[in-house]
Amino acid sequence: MSCCSGGYCQFEFPEGPPLVDNPVTNLNAVYQFLPYGTLLQEGEVIRIWMESGKTKTVILGEKIALKFGASGPYSEDGRVLPWQLIALDSGMDYDVLMHWQDHPLNNPLETPVLLKFDHPIEVKPSLKMRLLSWLYKIRNL
């Protein structure tokens, strides 16, 4: 039985930093909602992944414990969080996220957490860098 029609699920992750528990919708995701918590720690180098098997190494910037009230989830320190962006990055329906305490898969014994990722700066080669690289290759022929 295949888990997806495109055959994307037949992959193995290479060795490296630990993976987050659930996939994200894109590799530039900033937030991820994990309904059952995680053992990952702040400042740890981790990998986020998509269902297609692509991964990206990021730094776990914050691990925010969540509580639920009448108006939905909130952080223990009372910060305002962008719930629409969190739902989009986590691949969850906004209404499911806002009413997670009523969801049949909710486990009241587990504390849900919100992960905030810090993406390392990736230097993209400038036109000058590409030109110098090309000239260096020609010189060494």
Q: State mean pLDDT over 31-57.
A: 89
Residue 47 lies in a domain: yes
Identify how many contiguous H helices and E strands the chain contains and give both numbers. Answer: 3, 5
Q: Is residue 108 part of a domain?
A: yes
Cα gap 31→137, rounded to integer Å: 42
- E strand or H helix at 67: strand 55-69
Would you say residue 67 lies in a domain? Answer: yes
pLDDT range class, residue 63, cuts 50, 70, 90:
very high
User: Does a structural domain hold residue 6?
Assistant: no
Q: What is the pLDDT of residue 1?
A: 37
Pairing mode, strands 31-34 and 55-69: unpaired
pLDDT at 7 over 90: no
Q: Considering the domain boundaries, does residue 3 fall inside one?
A: no
Q: How many domains does the chain have?
A: 1
Domain that holds residue 109: 31-139
For residue 74, how many other CB atoms are within 10 A of its CB? Answer: 16
Return the structure tokens found at 120. Answer: 């390392």
**pLDDT digit string, tens, across residues 82-133:** 999 999 999 999 999 888 888 888 888 888 899 999 988 777 889 999 999 9
- The reply to whether 63 falls in a domain is yes
Does residue 71 form part of some domain? yes
β-partners of residue 62 are: 116
pLDDT score of 4 more than 70: no
Question: What is the structure's pLDDT at 10?
Answer: 59
Q: Given a cut of 50, is residue 2 above it in pLDDT?
A: no
Residue 69 phi, psi (nearest 5):
-125, -165
Q: Is residue 131 part of a domain?
A: yes
